[in-house]
Amino acid sequence: MKHLQFWILLVGSLFVCALYVEQIYLSRAISQQQQILYSSQQAASLGVTYNSSWKQLATRVYEMSRQDPALADVLKRNQIGIQDPATSTAPASTKAAVGP
């Protein structure tokens, strides 16, 4: 009877230890996934800010090119099309494709 109790306790203890190891592994995996999710959310929120910053810069370049003919000339020489951001749904400043 004592041998049977020993084996039952041994198998039960091994089972509990296996459950603890699985708990540690799963909590580590969840923690890593949460970190990935957080960094993805940060990147997504920065993308909106980045896009609005580019639009603001393009608007300023457009306004300055209307006041400074030298800037407008430099933009034309570099084949950068300037459009009025109020009337255009396209980006305010786009680089034209250069042919071969």
Terminal-to-terminal C-alpha distance of the chain: 90
Phi and psi at 81, nearest 5°, equal: -80, 130
pLDDT tens across 10-29, in order?
Answer: 999 999 999 999 999 999 99
pLDDT tens across 82-96, in order?
Answer: 666 666 555 544 444
Q: Which helix (H) or strand (E) holds 81?
A: strand 80-82
pLDDT tens across 43-78, in order?
Answer: 888 877 888 888 888 888 888 888 888 888 888 888
Phi and psi at 91, nearest 5°, equal: -55, 145
Q: Enumerate the β-bridge partners of residue 93.
A: 82
Phi and psi at 97, nearest 5°, equal: -70, 135
Handedness of CA 4, 9, 12, 14 (dihedral sign): negative
| Residue 99: pLDDT band with limits 50, 70, 90 | very low
